[in-house]
Amino acid sequence: MTEAERQSALDAIGAEVASCTRCRLHETRTKAVPGEGSAATEVVFVGEGPGVNEDRSGRPFVGQAGTLLTELLGSVGWTREEVFITNVVKCRPPGNRDPEADEIAACAPFLSRQLAALDPALVVTLGRFSMARFNPGARIGQVHGTFQPADPASGAPDSLAFAMYHPAAALHQGQLKTTLFRDMESVPAALLQARERRNSGSSAPQRADIAAQPGPAAATGPAAQASPVEGPADEVSPVATSESAAAAQSIELTPQTDPTDQLTLF
């Protein structure tokens, strides 16, 4: 798909989301929040659902959690405009309650279609609701900071899924902020792995091979070397080496291009 085709697919999904009545969340929303960012990106960030600020503005992650997300991106030299940011549910659950299973199910086709249009190499999941879609059955305390091939049912069968805590969690639990920034250091290295995996053409078979291995070791690559850190007893996190942290600074996002983008018509 060319970038223009991706954009037009995203615009069409956004228009449908704006007038969607598939679940009860439409009754209390001010604006639906389809998501935003680059149509050519290699990396999609998926949160839980809009909060009060997002509901008012129609844009994802624009409140305090959004400020932290922007800082996290900046810590590896990336910007919001270079990635795509969206949510599992596109309308605000009233009172910021958790989204319910039927609401997530009703909204799931929108995220699947966004992922199909974007075809990201890497999906970064923010929080447990997003993680559950790409890595079902995992526990965030065990897998944050690691990646594994995304569950094909997620709608991103050729992507790696990197798990992070939700930025809003760090607003309530200060020590998670350090964890978030440390985990973020490993995201560019995960992107390198995702690119390599795609270039080697082995994305689909690897999932089966890797998934057969137990625990956090099921993930691969430098970002997935699990080692214990201070914190809750069951918490296991990769520790980015200083080398990978330094390398992280220099991994630039490159827009995905289709060869036909370069064609000139005579």
Smallest gap from Cβ 257 to ligand URA, in A, equals 28
Comparing every residue's Cβ against ligand URA, the nearest one is: 47
Work out the number of other CB atoms within 10 angstroms of the CB of residue 266.
3
Indicate the residue among 82 and 158 with the shorter CB distance to ligand URA. 82
- Nearest Cα to 164, choosing from 192, 131, 115? 131
Burial 167-198 (b: 16+ CB within 10 A, else e): bbbbeeeeebbebbebbbbbbbbbbbbbbebb
Indicate the residue among 67 and 213 with the shorter CB distance to ligand URA. 67
Indicate the residue among 51 and 155 with the shorter CB distance to ligand URA. 51
Give backbone dihedrals phi and psi of 114, rounded to 5 degrees, phi first.
Answer: -65, -45
Helix (H, G, I), strand (E, B) or coil at 208: helix
The number of angstroms, rounded, from the C-alpha of 78 to the middle of its chain's C-alpha atoms is 14
Smallest gap from Cβ 141 to ligand URA, in A, equals 18
Which residues are at the interface with ligand URA (CB under 6 A)? 47-51, 54, 60-61, 65, 87, 168
Q: Which amino acid is at 264?
A: T
Smallest gap from Cβ 106 to ligand URA, in A, equals 17
Indicate the residue among 65 and 187 with the shorter CB distance to ligand URA. 65
List of residues 6+ apart from 48 with CB closer than 8 A: 87, 88, 89, 98, 99, 126, 127, 129, 130, 166
Smallest gap from Cβ 60 to ligand URA, in A, equals 4
Smallest gap from Cβ 82 to ligand URA, in A, equals 18
Indicate the residue among 92 and 207 with the shorter CB distance to ligand URA. 92
